[in-house]
Amino acid sequence: MRIAVILGSTRPGRRSEAVAQWVVNVANARDDASFDLVDLAEFDLPMLDEPMPAIVGQYQHAHTREWASRIASYDGFVFVTPEYNHSFSAALKNAIDYLYAEWNDKAAGFVGIGGTGGLRAVEQLRLVLAELKVATVRTQVAFARGDLQGEPQHHDTLNVMLDELVAWASALRSVRSVAA
């Protein structure tokens, strides 16, 4: 079982990087899956530049094929997303929009960061992922702006969310095998 922890911000000086690394560290202490940090800043995707819609799956650019290969290799995702203006970042939306089938029939959990714990960003992200046939788990971790140290309640909530995520990702493997 492979889970990507997707760092949903490319902003210089981003505080979400420390949170994403905390998630990876806690997650990799588990023995039910492997967890990799996927930093959008490392992919440097331009604004969506594919001539065909992602649902067609005919990727023209090397950066899209590399991104598609990486995302396709995972069974599920943890999105670490800051809240920008009551939503998630444009960089994350752009990265999501590049692909379609690579997201399908997989599971996702969320770690939100912001004044209200990133709750509005996560709620909007859930809507987008539903269109891509991603099953989202109920439990989510919410960090207020000044609270990025991974307090005990965050640790406990993260593990509950990861339990749900691994269970759903495991169940969806059979759905993906039928769809293939």
Residue range 71-106, pLDDT digits in tens: 999 999 999 999 999 999 999 999 999 999 999 999
- CATH number for the domain spanning 55: value is 3.40.50.360
Q: Measuring CA to CA, which residue among 173, 171, 162 is closest to residue 33?
A: 162
Structure tokens at 100: 């379609």
pLDDT in tens, 24-50: 999 999 999 999 999 999 999 999 999
Domain that holds residue 81: 2-179
Number of independent structural domains in the chain: 1
Q: Is the pLDDT of residue 145 over 90?
A: no
Q: Which pLDDT value is given to residue 56?
A: 97
Q: Which pLDDT value is given to residue 177?
A: 84
